Structure 1
Amino acid sequence: MNNQHRKLLMRRFENNQPVHITSRALVDIFRKKEDCYRFIFQFFVANLGRRGTNVYAKDAVKAGESLLRGENITSKFVIKEHPPLVELIDFSLVVNHYHFYLLPKIDNAIPILMKRLNDGFAKFFNITHGRKDAVFGSRYKGVVVSSDHQSYAVSRYISVINPLDVFQPGWREKGLKNWESAREFLEDYDFSSFLDRVGKRNAKILAPAEILEQYSFGISPTGREKYGEFVEEFLKERQTSNFQSLFLE
Structure 2
Amino acid sequence: MATRSISFSTGEFYHIYNRGTDRRIIFTDTADYKRFIDLLYLCNSSVSVNYRNISRSGKNIFEFNRKEQLVSIGAYCLMPNHFHIIATPHTDDGLGIFMNKLCTSYSMYFNKRNERTGTLFQGNYKAKHAGEDEYLKYLYSYIHLNPVKLYQSDWVERGIKNLETAYKFVSTYQYSSLPDHLGLNRPEKAVLDSSPFPDYFSSHIDMKKELFEWLAYNTDILKGHQS
Q: 1:117 aligns with which of 90, 97, 102?
A: 102
TM-score, L = length of structure 1: 0.76
Q: How does 1:1-249 map to 2 (within 5 A)?
A: 12-26=7-21, 27-48=24-45, 49-52=47-50, 54-55=52-53, 59=55, 72-74=62-64, 80=66, 82-160=67-145, 162-201=146-185, 203-208=189-194, 210-212=195-197, 214-217=198-201, 220-221=202-203, 224-238=204-218
Q: What is the Cα deviation at residue 99 of structure 1?
A: 0.5
Moved over 6 A (4+): none
Segments of 5+ residues of structure 2 without an aligned counterpart are 222-227
Counterpart-to-counterpart distance in 2, 1:173 and 1:204: 36
CA 1:119–1:127: 2 relative to 1, 3 Å: same
Q: What is the Cα deviation at residue 190 of structure 1?
A: 0.6
**Do 2:10 and 2:89's aligned partners in 1 also have CA atoms closer than 8 Å?**
yes
Counterpart-to-counterpart distance in 2, 1:179 and 1:36: 26
CA 1:240–1:124: 2 relative to 1, 3 Å: farther
Q: What is the Cα deviation at residue 239 of structure 1?
A: 6.4
**Do 1:148 and 1:216's aligned partners in 2 also have CA atoms closer than 8 Å?**
no
Q: Give the AA of the match of 2:135.
A: Q
Of 117-126 and 26-35, the range deviating more from structure 2: 26-35
Aligned to 2:224: none
Segments of 5+ residues of structure 1 without an aligned counterpart are 1-8, 242-249
1:15-58, Cα deviation, whole Å (9 max, x unpaired): 010111111112211231110000011121211133326449xx
CA 1:127–1:11: 2 relative to 1, 3 Å: closer
Counterpart-to-counterpart distance in 2, 1:168 and 1:145: 28
1:91-135, Cα deviation, whole Å (9 max, x unpaired): 000111100111111121222111111110011111112212321
TM-score, L = length of structure 2: 0.82
Q: For 1:195, what is the secondary structure of its paired residue? A: helix
RMSD: 2.6
**Do 1:151 and 1:216's aligned partners in 2 also have CA atoms closer than 8 Å?**
no
Counterpart-to-counterpart distance in 2, 1:105 and 1:230: 29
Of 99-108 and 41-50, the range deviating more from structure 2: 41-50
Of 230-239 and 39-48, the range deviating more from structure 2: 230-239
CA 1:24–1:131: 2 relative to 1, 3 Å: same
Q: What is the Cα deviation at residue 74 of structure 1?
A: 4.5
Q: Give the AA of the match of 2:32.
A: D
